[in-house]
Structure 1
Amino acid sequence: MPWVKGKHHLTEAYAWFLARWAKRLSWQEVASAFHTTWGHVFSSVEMAVDWGRKHRDLSGIEAIGVDEIQWQRGHRYLTLVYRIDRSCRRLLWIGKERKVKTLLGFFRWFGKKRTASLQYICSDMWKPYLKVIARKAGNALHILDRFHIMAHMSKAIDEVRAKETKELKEQGLEPVLTRSRWLLLKRPENLTE
């Protein structure tokens, strides 16, 4: 039968149908909704992923993003590398753990030629990432994640406010910086009397 690949129990069209639904619902819910087994949904997703990996185009990548997500309890992470070009945003690579050797593994897989063509790399401020990116893709502009920069700024503002408030109290002056965090963070044009 031309619409079935090998000795599979599902037609190719039905497998693609299940794989698309598996992006929206859990695999068990898809199996239940379409009166099939979890295994059939799994094999459909596996078929779609294999097809995607075989047909993936890695040419012309100019910008990547490096981040991590917590995988299980207890500080277990996965390193994710995304393509973040204007024309295309997609996951390129997943590595177990958040270590230097993990990100080095990505650059080994990605290749020297493609790495040399990178213009932008966005990551957080985790030191091992910074070191690997500087070593492997030093010609690319390294952009730090705004979320992490703002977290450091916010922490610094709180530390300075606490220090200044303590010094004012020691001098017997009124601690005017107490409860002023949001006042300091407001834009000047939004300030009121």
Structure 2
Amino acid sequence: KMPWVKGKHHLTEAYAWFLARWAKRLSWQEVASAFHTTWGHVFSSVEMAVDWGRKHRDLSGIEAIGVDEIQWQRGHRYLTLVYRIDRSCRRLLWIGKERKVKTLLGFFRWFGKKRTASLQYICSDMWKPYLKVIARKAGNALHILDRFHIMAHMSKAIDEVRAKETKELKEQGLEPVLTRSRWLLLKRPENLTE
């Protein structure tokens, strides 16, 4: 028995870890081409690394998590991602199919009541099903809304108010001074020029 090979694999353990590390930086096909191996060997190397990581991950001491979704394939198909965002450690914790209430409930079931109770911060976007589940399952944690989504809502509100005010000014026969003033309204006062 050779100590550097596990089971009946075609790759040594060190080479599999080497390929898995490169697969974090490049596509799996590029890794296979660069190191004269097959896509299947790269896949099995990544699979080995993921299995090792799942067996050895430590879920204790998690105080902050982020919840987000990504679109995959075509159409409106989403994956729900939950990741650890503590200051000392940032890593993906869980992936769920779809972007539904039951998906996020599945995360909290997997995560457990004790760990959920120890959460201090949860960051998510403003999607209502996420808001409901987080309020119900982790009501003690401070729920921080994603800045990107807040700014998108604010920008939309500014545009709606400007359009409404411009229309009213035109109806009153006054000059529509708010036309083309979006960036003027968004600038900091100290950055304004004449």
| Cα RMSD (Å) | 0.6
Q: CA deviation at 1:34?
A: 1.2
| Deviates most, 163-172 or 37-46 | 37-46
Count of paired positions: 193
| Identical aligned residues as a percent | 100
Q: CA deviation at 1:65?
A: 0.3
Q: How far, CA to CA, are the matches of 1:146 and 1:132 in structure 2?
A: 20
Runs of 4+ in structure 1 off by over 2 angstroms are none
Q: CA deviation at 1:180?
A: 0.3
SS in 2 for 1:72: coil
Instruction: Give 1:189's aligned residue.
Output: 190
SS in 1 for 2:45: helix
**After superposition, what is the alpha-carbon deviation per residue over 1:133-155, rounded to whole angstroms, capped at 9, x for unaligned?**
00000000000000000000000
Q: How far, CA to CA, are the matches of 2:192 and 2:22 in structure 1?
A: 49
Instruction: Give 2:89's aligned residue.
Output: 88
Q: CA deviation at 1:13?
A: 0.3
Q: How far, CA to CA, are the matches of 2:23 and 2:164 in structure 1?
A: 53
Q: How far, CA to CA, are the matches of 1:82 and 1:113 in structure 2?
A: 18
Q: How far, CA to CA, are the matches of 1:128 and 1:103 in structure 2?
A: 9
**After superposition, what is the alpha-carbon deviation per residue over 1:13-51, rounded to whole angstroms, capped at 9, x for unaligned?**
010011111111111111111111111111100000000
Q: TM-score, normalised by structure 1?
A: 0.99
Gaps of 5+ in 2: none
Q: How far, CA to CA, are the matches of 1:12 and 1:86 in structure 2?
A: 32
Q: CA deviation at 1:6?
A: 0.5
Q: CA deviation at 1:192?
A: 1.7
**After superposition, what is the alpha-carbon deviation per residue over 1:154-190, rounded to whole angstroms, capped at 9, x for unaligned?**
0000000000000000000000000000000000111
SS in 1 for 2:160: helix
| Deviates most, 18-27 or 47-56 | 18-27
Q: TM-score, normalised by structure 2?
A: 0.98
SS in 2 for 1:60: coil
Instruction: Give 1:10's aligned residue.
Output: 11
Q: CA deviation at 1:9?
A: 0.9
Q: CA deviation at 1:116?
A: 0.2
SS in 1 for 2:173: coil
Q: How far, CA to CA, are the matches of 2:165 and 2:157 in structure 1?
A: 12
SS in 2 for 1:9: coil
Q: How far, CA to CA, are the matches of 1:141 and 1:29 in structure 2?
A: 42
